[in-house]
A = this chain, B = another copy of it.
């Protein structure tokens, strides 16, 4: 039978007590971490969100209190009053380890069955079980730390942008579906039979309209929804730090956001981040790292060997080059021992996932040098290649050739990361930021047989590329920028089009008919007629930012109630079936 809290007032949290409080009478509440019964002595470790404190019961404890302490089990919720005193045996593993509370009053507020797993740090429990009993998992110290730190990150973001004149404005969640972009979550309307709302993939249109409304600087920390097949780091609902600025270009947006990153890392982690961050054009990022979100915590950059390989006689290389492709390589320093032939076979299989047909390699080691391709290539070409790569004895050279340059970049970029991980050369304590800029404006979608917007249809083209929108869309660069941290895209944005004529050219280049553009974005195009300021903005993936800042392996560890890969929530079993009556009211029925 649980007791009432009536008349009991907590005076402090468990983790706040120290030897400074010795002699004071205090009242604490929390969960029993464990109870130790030593016969004439009972100790209870009491846990709340701040830490653990020891409650002590001994010969001097009133019998009814002692007996109650005897009955207490792990995860019981209790309240205790008593006097802080120095411990007999000091525990320097916990901050309150010098003291204990000699309890004079004890209340059992809630009893507990034995939980399905123990509430401890680094619990070796399967994630599925953790998520089913998320309310217990969240009691574990690292989950408490993560969720509380996320609060601090979010608070810091709001403080920073507020101080810099940004106004948080809420945009609607029940909006119009636009087929451009990812798949929408839909919400059937009861009052409008056969019509649907969509949940926002981002507040893009609304924040641009707010700029047209003169709010000048907008921010919002906002839930967004994408009904995509989930990868490890995706959730069907996720949170963005979303912002937009009028009378601003990329330099203003970048500098405001470098200020934010500097502040949030300093305030929450105590880490000094150096600004400004390097800006790397997309083309350069591809050339050096084979990636538009390069991890720059280590080198091992890509090296173009195309000119050297031209006419070398090795069909794999020359065939790729003649088809308009390239031959590129990385050099893993001092990797001779670790990258054995067996390992290289595995890496050859690895790059096939990225479309590469094979992996050419050389393990350099004087007379013990071995190579998968050297015998097909003249000695002097090999020498020139190794020399350009700076490859010495003990190094391993890995080369990819393909008719499709993008395959070379993708495969070699992925290989670079994979090799670095296997060699363990990525420093874990570094935060390496950079901006990737000058993204392509369009990318060609083979599936749809047309160019689609790489960022979104409202992105401003580079001034120099304005005349190529129709004639050479593939060569147009966008005034878009991504912020990358340790190889992860933290966020991105762009300067937006604010000229209705240019916007119409973009829609046309994306293959929209006049009617379709009008139907989908008519209200936006109308809005642009009445005075649209230059504006630019960006958005961060908050879950990712928290994950990286807190050193977690999964975004699920920074979300209180996440969903799993199949978009279900294991605790409540959402989604679920609903009453036929509900569907009827919404004018829909389930089909096969």
Which A residues are within 8 Å of any B CB, using their own CB? 2, 4-6, 10, 29-32, 47-49, 75-77, 79, 109-113, 115, 133-136, 138-139, 144, 147-148, 150-151, 154-155, 158, 162, 167-177, 179, 183-199, 205-206, 209-210, 212-216, 223, 225, 227, 236-237, 239, 246-247, 249, 463, 498-499, 523, 526-527, 529-534, 559-561, 563, 566-569, 571-579, 582-592
Contact = CB atoms under 8 A, between A and B. Distances in A.
Q: Count copies of this chain in the complex.
A: 2
A109 B575 contact: no
Given A167-B147, A577-B194, A135 B527 contact: yes
Nearest to A528: B110
B29 A246 contact: yes
Give the residue among A135, A169, A213 with the most B Cβ atoms within 10 A.
Answer: A135
B214 A139 contact: yes
A592 B586 contact: no
A530 B75 contact: yes
Q: Name the residue among A32, A559, A561 with the largest chain B CB count within 10 angstroms.
A: A561
B249 A6 contact: yes
A576 B196 contact: yes
Given A183-B585, A188-B588, A589-B589, 14 more contacts: A109-B247, A110-B499, A110-B534, A113-B529, A134-B213, A135-B212, A151-B167, A171-B561, A172-B574, A177-B576, A177-B582, A196-B578, A209-B561, A587-B592
List the 5 closest pairs (A to B, CB-CB), nearest first.
A112-B531, A138-B213, A176-B574, A195-B575, A189-B575
A477 B146 CA distance: 40
Contacts of A168: 151, 154-155
Centre residue among A77, A139, A239 by max chain B CB count within 10 A: A77
A197 B574 contact: yes
Main secondary structure of the interface of A (DSSP, over half): loop
Contacts of A216: 48-49
Nearest to A560: B169
